[in-house]
């Protein structure tokens, strides 16, 4: 069984350690210490240097008692969204909440607490278990930067579970791919009251591009959005620059590519309509686009070992709703039993 009091206190402790994205060092050091106390080999990797943060991912390797079995990976992220500094948690019965001046950071400190408490229980209760690779990642909230920079070639686990859902009774096995698009639209500056015909409005190009663009739900598995737009200096200046950021997601790679190309084409087409010649110099409207893969789709079949572990552990517990830590402990027990069969 899970030690309810201990996991509650651990969660309260973790949420009170500031860890905005790129500032996870304090919580990383604490988690490292606890994992080392449990006998793990712990490293903090170099992901922090790569993404401009003050800490890397904490990777803790626990030997397990069934040493010849394949390890299982468990993961949660250490960073929180803003405003998440100086958290003052309030405990009311079974509920832990904030004083509403900050977020709680239960996303994803609760995942971190579950992993630590479950391993403590496995060890204390001498429950046979496989080796465990625990990854406490950085910068999840700003684009999964920690997870993206884990050197997966160093991991021995071939499967694992990420604890980052607000519903312990729900297992995500499918997810979309996502592209982030950054548009930089260039026009030509001119005085709007004196010589507007000598300018090219980057705002007008942008407006035409977006008006022609399919956004929102594109089909049942594809969405698209323009979320950030910045540009212009003053009402009397024809604006020569607009910056935009958007995204598209789809569970289908071909559809994702098609929507990405469509969004790019809207900007290129709108920009191509504009051209002015001033004092013999010709300037054309222009749109630069960069596309970055935010994350790639996931589709784990129900027949896979890891999904079966969760389903069968749930069945053994015989409930529809689960406490995440109890459920995880059951999963680890079952994984150990299956490894020794």
Residues that are catalytic:
79, 140
Paired with 76 in beta bridges are 136
> Is 62 in a helix, a strand, or coil?
strand
In angstroms, give the least distance from the CB of 11 to Zn ion: 14
Give the residue with the Cβ less far from Zn ion, 164 or 189. 164
Give the residue with the Cβ less far from Zn ion, 53 or 71. 53
Give the residue with the Cβ less far from Zn ion, 108 or 208. 108
Given a contact cutoff of 8 angstroms between Cβ atoms, the answer to whether 38 and 144 are in contact is no
Given a contact cutoff of 8 angstroms between Cβ atoms, the answer to whether 247 and 224 are in contact is yes
In angstroms, give the least distance from the CB of 164 to Zn ion: 4
Contacts of 295-298 spanning 24+ positions with Cβ under 8 A: 295/144, 295/175, 295/177, 295/178, 296/177, 297/174, 297/175, 297/176, 297/177, 297/250, 297/251, 297/253, 298/172, 298/173, 298/174, 298/175
Which one of the spans 26-34, 65-73, 161-169, 170-178 is the region binding Zn ion (CB under 5 A)?
161-169
Given a contact cutoff of 8 angstroms between Cβ atoms, the answer to whether 254 and 172 are in contact is no
In angstroms, give the least distance from the CB of 141 to Zn ion: 7
Which one of the spans 6-14, 51-59, 162-170, 294-302 is the region binding Zn ion (CB under 5 A)?
162-170
208 touches Zn ion (CB under 5 A): no
Q: Which of 88, 66, 110 is nearest to 333 (CA)?
A: 66
- Site residues for Zn ion, 93-152, by CB under 5 A, read 107-108
Give the residue with the Cβ less far from Zn ion, 247 or 269. 247
In angstroms, give the least distance from the CB of 246 to Zn ion: 22
Which x/- pattern, by CB under 5 A, does the window 227-266 give for Zn ion?
Answer: ----------------------------------------
In angstroms, give the least distance from the CB of 268 to Zn ion: 36
In angstroms, give the least distance from the CB of 325 to Zn ion: 17
Binding residue count for Zn ion, defined by CB under 5 A = 3
Give the residue with the Cβ less far from Zn ion, 178 or 190. 178
Give the residue with the Cβ less far from Zn ion, 102 or 190. 102
Cα gap 243→235, rounded to integer Å = 18
335's CB contacts (< 8 A; 6+ apart) are: 72, 129, 130, 309
Q: Which string of DSSP letters, residue by residue, matches 78-128?
A: --BPSS-SS---EEETTEEE--SSS---HHHHHHHHHHHHHHHHHHHTT--
How are the residues of the chain apportioned to helix, strand and coil, as percentages rounded to the nearest 5?
A: 35, 30, 40
Which x/- pattern, by CB under 5 A, does the window 163-202 give for Zn ion?
Answer: -x--------------------------------------
24 touches Zn ion (CB under 5 A): no
Q: Which residues are near Zn ion by CB under 5 A?
A: 107-108, 164
């Amino acid at each position: 069984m899970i030690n309810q009091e201990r996991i509650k206190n651990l969660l309260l402790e973790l949420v009170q350690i500031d860890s905005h994205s790129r500032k996870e060092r304090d919580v990383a050091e604490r988690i490292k210490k606890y994992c080392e106390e449990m006998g793990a080999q712990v490293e903090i990797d170099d992901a922090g240097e790569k993404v401009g943060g003050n800490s890397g991912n904490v990777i803790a390797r626990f030997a397990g008692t069934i040493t010849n079995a394949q390890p299982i990976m468990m993961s949660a992220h250490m960073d929180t969204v803003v405003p998440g500094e100086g958290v003052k948690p309030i405990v009311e019965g079974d509920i832990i909440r904030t004083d509403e001046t900050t977020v709680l950071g239960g996303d994803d400190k609760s995942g971190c607490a579950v992993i630590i408490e479950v391993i403590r229980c496995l060890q204390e209760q001498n429950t046979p278990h496989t080796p465990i690779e625990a990854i406490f990642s950085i910068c999840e909230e700003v684009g999964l930067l920690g997870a993206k920079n884990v050197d997966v070639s160093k991991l021995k686990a071939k499967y694992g579970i990420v604890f980052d859902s607000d519903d312990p009774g729900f297992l995500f096995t499918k997810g979309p791919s996502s592209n982030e698009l950054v548009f930089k639209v260039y026009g030509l500056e001119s005085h709007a009251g004196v010589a507007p015909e000598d300018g090219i409005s980057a705002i007008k190009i942008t407006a035409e591009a977006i008006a022609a663009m399919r956004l929102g739900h594109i089909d049942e598995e594809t969405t698209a959005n323009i979320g950030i737009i910045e540009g212009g200096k003053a009402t009397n200046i024809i604006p020569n620059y607009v910056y935009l950021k958007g995204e598209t997601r789809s569970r289908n790679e071909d559809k994702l590519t098609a929507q990405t190309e469509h969004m790019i084409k809207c900007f290129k087409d709108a920009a191509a309509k504009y051209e002015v010649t001033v004092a013999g110099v010709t300037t054309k409207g222009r749109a630069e686009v960069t596309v970055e893969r935010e994350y790639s789709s996931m589709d784990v079949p129900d027949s896979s070992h890891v999904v079966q572990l969760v389903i069968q552990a749930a069945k053994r517990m015989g409930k529809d709703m689960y406490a995440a830590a109890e459920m995880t402990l059951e999963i680890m027990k079952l994984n150990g039993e299956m490894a020794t069969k």
